Copies of this chain bind each other. A is one copy, B any other.
Amino acid sequence: MTRDGNPGSKEGKQATMKSEGKLATIKGGVCAPKGFRASGLKCGIKNPDSPKLDLALIYSDHPSIGAAVFTQNQVKAAPVRLSANYIRSDQPRAIVVNSGNANACTGSVGMDHARKMAEATAKALKLRQRQVLVCSTGIIGVPMPIDRILPRIPDAAAALKADATDAAAAIMTSDTKPKTTAVRREIGGAEVRIGAIAKGAGMINPNMATMLCFVTTDAAIDPAELETATREAVDKSFNRITIDGDMSTNDTVIVLANHAAGNTPIRKGKAGSREFREALTEVMVRMAKKIVSDGERVTKLVEVIVKGARSSADAEKVARAVANSNLVKCSWNGNDPNWGRVLHAVGYSGARIKEETVDIYFNGLCAAKNGLVNHTPLAKLQQAVSRDRIRLCIDLHSGTGEYNIYTADLSPEYVLFNREEYAVSKLKG
């Protein structure tokens, strides 16, 4: 058992990474903060005979506020459009989530189904409909089996308890393990808690790469500050992971805050703001790294660190070009310290660079210096790239711009997994 209570979690290894942060992990995921309960149960959305949980509910016993970041894909699933509308206009207190069907590319019928899920949840919890946020993940382009979902929503409400285990399991699709974390920190004279559950993206879902993360906190916080802190944390976490460059129709991060901790309310620029932002960012970075490193089909978690760029925008261009290059990702899968492919991606990134000042390091070992092969023994470089955690540092020596991003290798198994036939998926659904 690890600190998170998830058998087989890689938390132990991740804890050694620099940006893992300094806050103590506590148990409970989204139920760690005071006044939050959750549940998860089975509707049989994908397959009535499967034992898999596929409906999750997260609920605050107290009035709460929310902030959210949704996919920037112009093709948005119905629940994304609904929740983006609801979160602007009211104080959300519940999130209802199903896995197995993304309710995307489903037209007006899909929007009607998303509304019905909010309506049923609101009725069961005695909330207004606009206080319920809706999320879906799974196959796209197929109508939701709404008649299997609606009757189970009252059961999900009745099953709410201070244990996020079932909810974390119910949002999984092809994830190999549930993803959960929670931290506590003294802020504004009280112990504030932040908890999260998430499901993964990219190569771990054949039917649409969706990333969902739900965060709860008992902090008392000003709505504008919660909004800013959420955007900042997403920018430093989920916006810095890339599996295959794709962006889903359903990606969603939602934060609920219910003021139950009793701290002095957190406001922009006031005491506690920095501490809360740091803690929220740490929680999201943890979840982002769990998402990248999950899945048998990923063999390596790679942090691409770009330094010395003319601007941070240039550093980001270089980091994304390298992290999304199939040739570079294949070389990592093959334990190949192929700095030439890295340099070639740097060259087409769009950032202004000088080939003759670029240095490339694998886990601190210099593979290329001034754009030329360095004299580090190849065996040592191979050893570095053979690890399941790689820090690839690219120093452009052209300025002070920096950026870092987390990504993964590209494996033959990724392709095998994602070539699974639509027909097969549909039959399963």
- Structural contact, B420 and A368, CB atoms closer than 8 A: no
Chain A 78-109 against B: per-residue CB contact (8 Å), 1 yes, 0 no?
00000000000000000000000000111100
Is A345 among interface residues, defined by CB-CB distance under 8 A? yes
- Structural contact, A420 and B334, CB atoms closer than 8 A: yes
- Structural contact, A246 and B140, CB atoms closer than 8 A: no
- Structural contact, B415 and A415, CB atoms closer than 8 A: yes
Is A416 among interface residues, defined by CB-CB distance under 8 A? yes
Chain A 197-229 against B: per-residue CB contact (8 Å), 1 yes, 0 no?
000000000011100000000000000000000
Is A2 among interface residues, defined by CB-CB distance under 8 A? no
Is A20 among interface residues, defined by CB-CB distance under 8 A? no
Partner of A423, one of B72, B378, B419: B378
Complex Cα spacing A19 to B324, Å:
31
Partner of A373, one of B75, B142, B345: B142
Is A411 among interface residues, defined by CB-CB distance under 8 A? yes
Distance in Å: Cβ of A429 to nearest Cβ of chain B:
12
Complex Cα spacing A336 to B426, Å:
11
One of A42-50, A60-68, A347-355, A387-395 at the interface: A347-355
Partner of A341, one of B208, B343, B348: B208
Q: Within 8 Å CB of A337, what residues of B?
A: 422
- Structural contact, B420 and A336, CB atoms closer than 8 A: yes
- Structural contact, B107 and A421, CB atoms closer than 8 A: no
Complex Cα spacing A309 to B139, Å:
27
- Structural contact, A245 and B326, CB atoms closer than 8 A: yes
- Structural contact, A415 and B411, CB atoms closer than 8 A: yes
Complex Cα spacing A410 to B411, Å:
11
Chain A 367-394 against B: per-residue CB contact (8 Å), 1 yes, 0 no?
0101111000010001000000000000
Interface size on A, residues (CB 8 A): 68
Is A248 among interface residues, defined by CB-CB distance under 8 A? yes
Given contacts A74-B348, A105-B355, contact A141 B373 (CB under 8 A): yes
- Structural contact, B421 and A335, CB atoms closer than 8 A: yes
Complex Cα spacing A415 to B334, Å:
9
Partner of A73, one of B209, B347, B410, B419: B347
Is A356 among interface residues, defined by CB-CB distance under 8 A? yes
Complex Cα spacing A247 to B348, Å:
6
Is A344 among interface residues, defined by CB-CB distance under 8 A? yes
Tell me the chain A residues, 245-265 only, with Cβ under 8 Å from chain B.
Answer: 245-249
Nearest B residue to A352, CB-CB: B74
Complex Cα spacing A378 to B75, Å:
23
Q: Within 8 Å CB of A415, what residues of B?
A: 330, 333, 410-412, 414-415
- Structural contact, B414 and A336, CB atoms closer than 8 A: no
- Structural contact, A343 and B75, CB atoms closer than 8 A: yes
Q: Within 8 Å CB of A142, what residues of B?
A: 373
- Structural contact, B356 and A107, CB atoms closer than 8 A: yes
Given contacts A343-B105, A348-B72, contact A336 B421 (CB under 8 A): yes
Nearest B residue to A339, CB-CB: B141
Nearest B residue to A330, CB-CB: B418
Complex Cα spacing A382 to B347, Å:
39
Complex Cα spacing A73 to B343, Å:
10
- Structural contact, B419 and A334, CB atoms closer than 8 A: yes
Distance in Å: Cβ of A251 to nearest Cβ of chain B:
10
Complex Cα spacing A355 to B74, Å:
7
Nearest B residue to A354, CB-CB: B74
- Structural contact, A368 and B75, CB atoms closer than 8 A: no
Nearest B residue to A205, CB-CB: B327
Nearest B residue to A413, CB-CB: B412
Instruction: Please list 19 pairs of residues, one from A and one from B, whose beta carbons are closer than 8 Å in the complex, sorted by A's number.
Output: A73-B348, A74-B352, A74-B355, A105-B343, A105-B373, A106-B372, A107-B356, A107-B370, A141-B373, A142-B373, A208-B344, A244-B327, A246-B325, A246-B344, A246-B345, A330-B418, A331-B419, A334-B420, A337-B422
A residues in contact (CB < 8 Å) with B: 72-76, 104-107, 139-142, 207-209, 244-249, 324-327, 330-331, 333-341, 343-348, 352-353, 355-356, 368, 370-373, 378, 382, 410-416, 418-423, 426
